[in-house]
Chains A and B, each alone.
Chain A
Amino acid sequence: MSEQYPALLVVVPLLSALVVSIAGWINKRLCFPIAVAALGVAAWSAVGLLLRVLDEGVIVYKLGGWSPPMGIAYYIDYLNGLVLPVVSIVALLNLIANKKGIEQQFPDKIGPFYTLYLLMVTGLLGIVVTGDAFNLYVLLEIAALTGYGLLAMGEERAPLATLNYLYMGTIGACFYLLGVGYLYIVTGSLNMVDIARLLPPLYQSKAVMAAFIICMVGVWLKMAFFPLHAWLPNAYTYANSAASSLIAPLVTKVMIYVMIRLMLTVFTPEFAFTTLAVSNAIVWLAVIAIVMGAVLALAERNLKKMLTYIVVAEVGYMVGGAWLGNRDGMTGAILHIVNDALMTLCVFMVVGNIVYKVKGYAFEDLQGLFRKMPFTMGALVIGAMSIIGVPPTCGFFSKWYLIVGAISAGHYGFMAALIFSSLVSVVLFFRVFEICFYEPFADHHGHDNHPGGMDEAPVSMVVPLLIVAVILIVVGLYTGDIVNHVIQFAIPETMV
């Protein structure tokens, strides 16, 4: 069966989405177990694939039995072999944690919610695993459409914020499609590896250059890279917590994976860094993204919105690291995809728990939470340490690689931005901790039955959260193995 893992990875969530959709009309209680089982199979296949890649190297899976470039093929190499388990495990843990919240918020629409959730995961996994440039577009749209649906169910402002996201997301996806069209018109192929083989003689062509730029702008729109980030904070803040803690960790990270895939596989690093000679400008954009994200986060008096600006800043880390043009920077960017997905999941799940219990996420709602929800806040401390970059947690190590990369590229502006953002994160989170820890329970929560007592979120929400918090530390401790056995092989040897 293991040779069918690439198909199972994507097809099982898809099939289960359809079955859940039908089950939603017949018996709602069936939805959750089916969804968990499907994501479990997906996570199992993803881990199995990673182990196979470590054993045998690149795996090619021909869909429909047609060999590429005629048909569509999946390529699993060290790069997506690493990202796939992260995506599937994040989706699985988040689903388990949010069962109660989903039932509380959408009692009548459980079936459609799980359907959209599974389709979204299908789309994200498919984007990561596919080796066909056009197939990626279709999956991008699945992930996007289901994402709009999930995000729009939230507070009063959610539909408008999501509609703005839809405009920007559609422009981004269309730009990507247009770029693929340009590549198709000059090469005649849609398969990524095949395009990469045909492109080198054409590198001086204006069309290829335009294709690269258009694809990049499209992907940046989707990942909310700095000047194009305006849609992200509102869309993520006003959504329901189950959706935002799925989408905030995964969508931006998967788009960064797409960017790195385009830079390393479809185009070569030489083309991206040397022929175009725009990498320096892009790193400076990333610097602005980091600084602006940090400053805008400081201005917020609202935990969830503050976190969304941190997401914007983190996008700057990864884009900047990838465009530094050296091995350390790229290693840091790829490692940060893993770490940032996990730590964003951690902090957004904390927000989910707080919303479930306190029904709010503004700073004044957080008072006295350390006493009330000690486990949740403990996880927040670990997540915050990781975002700040405190050693045993994983966030430190990716930041370390990024800084080393910045120094060896001689880009001190980027290094300064990283350190600045870490310092701002310290301020941000200690402000939150101060509110949660010292200030007494406010009077307007007087209706609560146990003032001052412990009132933790349900076990089914806390346990997945604690698992994520432990993973943050474990990944940090095993960073060396991840870099030496996986990421090192994901970067082409021509890149020094």
Chain B
Amino acid sequence: MKIIGLIITVVTGALLFYAAGDFPAWSDPASPASTYLSPHFIEKTMEETSVPNIVTAVLADYRSFDTMFETAVIFSAGVVCFFLLRISRREDEEPETRYYRHVLTGVTIQLKEGHKMPPSADFERIDSMWTPPDLIIKTGCRLLIPFVQLFGLYVIAHGHHSPGGGFQGGVILGASVILLAISHDLRTAVRRMSEKLIGILCAAGVLIYACTGALCLLLKLNFLDYSALAGILHVDPITARSHGILMVEIGVGIAVLATMIWIYNNISSAGRYRQGL
């Protein structure tokens, strides 16, 4: 296999090296890629969409259809991870012994033969492999998480004017919840965001995007032509495009946030939703 791999690699590499001879030099302003479509985007974006961040405008308006499917890609990855890994409730039979921890004193109780403890504020359910989280890490993350989330929201909302947007902000928001799962345990994170909520949010995020597009279709223009929203939003068609971009970015943010957590939960615990990693 090694020899075959080497031959394939060398042949492919040689072809690519050969082809690179005809490419324009690096950072050449006169290359076709820089002179054909991009000047239009750079010079007309402000007039046509009133969004100063050209990448956002191209991503969520000129090529918004690509971006919708990009969100669908990440959504399907979430669904696939769930579909492949999640142990169904019947198979994931509850363990015979359960462990509970008294929150204030840290005393751990073991209940055998499938006994359960009625839900109470004093005790929390823990996994058999549970280890106490480090105080410094726990406190540090608790302090950090709100700021991380605030920054995530800023990145989504300010994508029109600065680097950012739904994907980046969504990943930051998702990372904040994953940070909680790492610094405490998976059970704590799932308690904050239940599996059902995540599953629904994932689909809802993409649904916001697709419905924005479908709304334009219902308003007698083409799919994702945000200028159709002008009548509803009471603004001129150019500003309507800017608002349309914000709507879909929010959808993207929600979808990415939920999918990141969903993928993490399923992969880190191999679908059992007990002690992660």
Chain A contact residues, CB within 8 Å of chain B: 4, 7, 11, 14-15, 17-19, 21-22, 24-25, 61-66, 69-72, 107-109, 112-113, 115-116, 119, 122-123, 126, 132, 134-135, 138-139, 141-142, 145-146, 148-149, 152-153, 159, 182, 184-190, 198, 205-207, 209-211, 213-214
Q: B1-25 interface mask toward A, CB cutoff 8 Å, 1 = contact, 0 = none?
A: 0000000000000011011111110
Among A64, A107, A112, A152, contact of B62 (Cβ-Cβ < 8 Å): A64
What is the CA–CA distance of A210 and B22 in the complex, to the nearest angstrom?
A: 10
A109 to chain B: which residues have CB within 8 Å? 83, 86, 88
Q: A63 to B76, Cβ gap below 8 A?
A: no
B69 touches A138 (CB 8 A): yes
Q: In the complex, are the beta carbons of B18 and A108 less than 8 A apart? A: no
Could you say which residues of chain B place their CB within 8 Å of the CB of A141?
73
A21 adjacent to B79 (CB under 8 Å): yes
Query: Is there a chain A Cβ closer than 8 Å to B118's Cβ?
Result: no
Which single residue of chain A is at the shortest CB-CB distance from B90? Answer: A108
Determine the distance from Cα of A70 to Cα of B69 in the docked complex, in whole angstroms: 18
Residue among A64, A142, A152, A207 making CB contact with B72, cutoff 8 Å: A142
| Count of CB-CB pairs between chains A and B under 8 Å | 177
**Shortest 7 CB-CB distances between A and B: which pairs?**
A188-B36, A210-B19, A149-B80, A65-B225, A108-B88, A188-B32, A7-B223
Determine the chain A residues whose CB is within 8 A of the CB of B70 once the complex forms. Answer: 138
Given contacts A138-B73, A142-B69, A142-B76, contact A11 B223 (CB under 8 A): yes
Q: How near does chain A come to B189, taking the closest CB pair, in angstroms? A: 19
B64 near A64: Cβ-Cβ < 8 Å: yes
Q: Is B203's CB within 8 Å of the partner chain A?
A: yes
- How would residues 75 to 113 of chain B score, 1 for a CB under 8 Å from any chain A CB and 0 otherwise? 111011011101011100000000000000000000000
Task: Give the CA-CA distance A119 to B225 in the complex, in Å.
Answer: 23
State A63–B223 Cα separation when bound (angstroms): 6
> Which one of A21, A123, A188 contacts B37 once the chains associate, using CB atoms below 8 Å?
A188
User: Chain B contacts of A18 at CB under 8 A?
Assistant: 75, 203-204, 206-207, 210
Q: Is B66 an interface residue (CB 8 A)?
A: yes
Write out the residue numbers on chain B whose beta carbons fall within 8 Å of the beta carbon of A190. 37
Which chain B residues lie closer than 8 Å to A4 at the CB level? 217, 222-223
Query: Smallest CB-CB separation from B201: which chain A residue?
Result: A22
Cβ–Cβ < 8 Å partners of A112 in chain B: 79, 82-83
B274 to chain A, nearest CB (A): 18
B64 CB to closest chain A CB (Å) equals 5
In the complex, chain B residues whose CB is within 8 Å of the CB of A189: 36-37
B binding-site residues for A, Cβ under 8 Å: 15-16, 18-24, 31-38, 40-41, 61-66, 68-70, 72-73, 75-77, 79-80, 82-84, 86, 88-90, 196, 199-200, 202-204, 206-207, 210-211, 213-214, 217, 221-227
Interface centre among B18, B64, B69, B84 (most CB of A within 10 A): B69
Q: How far is the CA of A138 from the CA of B21 in the complex (A)?
A: 28
B223 with A185: CB separation less than 8 A: no
Are A70 and B62 in contact, with the CB atoms below 8 A? yes
Q: Across the two chains, which residue of chain A brings its CB closest to B32?
A: A188
**Do B73 and A185 touch across chains, with their CB atoms under 8 A apart?**
no
Provide 6 A-B residue pairs closer than 8 Å at the C-beta atoms, listed in order of the A residue. A18-B207, A25-B196, A116-B79, A145-B73, A145-B76, A146-B80
Closest to A113 in B: B83
| CB-contact partner of A149 in B21, B62, B84, B227, under 8 A | B84
A138 surroundings in chain B (CB, below 8 A): 66, 69-70, 73
* Closest B residue to A190 using CB positions: B37
Of the candidates B36, B73, B222, which one forms a contact with A7 in the assembled complex, judged by CB atoms under 8 Å apart?
A: B222
Q: When the two chains form their complex, are residues A119 and B222 in contact, meaning their CB atoms are under 8 A apart?
A: no
Q: CA separation between A19 and B207, bound complex, in Å?
A: 8
By beta carbon, the residue of chain A nearest B17 is: A210
> With A65-B222, A206-B22 given, is the CB distance from A188 to B35 under 8 Å?
yes
Sample of 13 more A-B contacts, CB < 8 Å, known A11-B210, A66-B62: A4-B222, A11-B217, A19-B207, A24-B199, A62-B222, A134-B66, A138-B70, A139-B69, A146-B76, A149-B83, A187-B36, A188-B36, A206-B19
Q: In the complex the two chains form, what is the Cα distance from A109 to B85 in whole Å?
A: 11
Say whether B66 contacts A64, CB under 8 Å.
no
Of B18, B20, B84, the contact of A152 (CB 8 Å cutoff): B84
User: Chain B residues near A63 (CB, 8 Å)?
Assistant: 64-65, 222-224
CB of B62 within 8 A of CB of A119, answer no
Residue in chain B with minimal CB distance to A149: B80
Contact A119–B200 (Cβ < 8 Å): no
Chain A residues closer than 8 Å to B77, beta-carbon distance? 145
Query: CA separation between A149 and B61, bound complex, in Å?
Result: 31
Is the pair A206, B18 in contact by a Cβ cutoff of 8 Å?
A: yes
B contact residues around A149 at 8 Å (CB): 76, 79-80, 83-84
A139 to B203, CA, bound (A): 18
The answer for the CA separation of A318 and B203 in the assembled complex, in Å, is: 38
- Verify B222–A64 contact, CB threshold 8 A: yes
Q: How far is the CA of A152 from the CA of B84 in the complex (A)?
A: 7
Contact between chains at B76 and A116 (CB < 8 Å) = yes
Closest to A65 in B: B225
Which residue on chain A has the smallest CB distance to residue B84?
A152
Given A63-B223, A116-B76, A185-B65 contact (CB < 8 Å)? no
Per the bound structure, the CA–CA distance linking A146 and B222 in Å amounts to 28
How far apart sit A7 and B68, CA to CA, in the bound complex (Å)?
13
Cβ of A119: which chain B residues have Cβ within 8 Å of it? 72, 75-76, 79
Chain B residues positioned under 8 Å from A22 (CB to CB):
199-200, 203-204, 207
Q: Output the least CB separation between B245 and chain A (Å).
A: 11
Q: Are A64 and B19 in contact (CB under 8 A)?
A: no
A135 in contact with B207 (CB, 8 Å) = no
In the assembled complex, the CB of B219 is this many whole angstroms from the nearest CB of chain A, namely: 12
**Chain A residues within 8 Å of B199, by CB:** 21-22, 24-25
Q: For the complex, what is the distance from the CA of A141 to the CA of B226, rounded to whole Å?
A: 26
